[in-house]
Amino acid sequence: MTQPHLVVLDMAGTTVADDGLVVEAFTRAIGAVGVEPDAPAFPGMLAYVHDTMGESKISVFRALLDADEARAQAANTAFEAAYGELVDGGACAPIPGAADAIAELRDAGVKVALTTGFGHATQAAILDALGWQDAADLALCPADTENGRGRPYPDLVLTAVLRLGIDDVRAVATAGDTAYDVLCGLRAGASVAAGVLTGAHSRTVLEQAGATHVLESVRDLPAVLLGRTT
């Protein structure tokens, strides 16, 4: 493709190291609504969390808790609080080379949006912990979309397109570490929907989701998008 006008990047697992934070926060959150790690249902729930990495967390809790909205909201609130505590405690770091990759893209005139399935408060805590408040042109979470939908729906990418004044979805590239990131990019019409191997899903899973590229890390993305490699 020609140089994109916009790159939409996932956060946890793609630009921000996860290091088990999602699993730890989930364990605390599901415990807050009565499902302890020794419960028979816990392993299946944890497997579902892994399989749906990248999806809006409230959607995950709704699925796990049989659409019991009160319990799902309670679990989601507990998850956000637990993740925020872990971040505030210093358990947050960028993927090596991520900040340089973002800067290189922006220096080349490409706009960059950071997206997440977390809520506003957690996203802000991560950006503050990393000193990334001004690292990208835009930061979005599902609550910023018209219908509140996160991945695998295309809404996060399309919201970035509209807010940043991009004229053509074919001038968009996306990158993320999960199948849902790939699906989000493809459904939004992005010309590049890249998967990266620094997070939740394997090369096979990303390829099966339709990834246009599978990269070792987001640090490799500028070389692909700016024409230094194919």
Answer whether residue 229 shows pLDDT above 50.
Answer: no
Whole-angstrom CA distances from 31 to 63, 125, 230 are: 16, 23, 47
Residue pair 5/172 in contact (Cβ under 8 Å)? The answer is yes
215: helix, coil or strand? strand
Which domains does the chain possess?
Answer: 6-18+94-225 (3.40.50.1000), 21-88 (1.10.150)
Answer whether residue 230 shows pLDDT above 50.
Answer: no
Considering only 34-48, 52-66, 110-124, which range has the smallest mean pLDDT? 52-66
| Region 154-172 average pLDDT | 96
Whole-angstrom CA distances from 128 to 65, 75, 92, 177 are: 32, 24, 10, 22
| Region 190-215 average pLDDT | 95
Count other Cβ atoms within 10 Å, centred on residue 7: 28
pTM of the model: 0.87
- Angle (deg, nearest 10), helices 42-51 and 21-32: 140
- Angle (deg, nearest 10), helices 21-32 and 69-88: 140
Q: Where are the beta strands (DSSP E) in 110-211?
A: 111-115, 138-140, 172-176, 192-196
- In whole numbers, what is the pLDDT of the chain averaged over residues? 91
| Tens of pLDDT, residues 61-97 | 998 988 889 999 999 899 888 888 888 777 788 999 9
What CA–CA distance (Å, rounded) separates 37 from 27?
Answer: 7
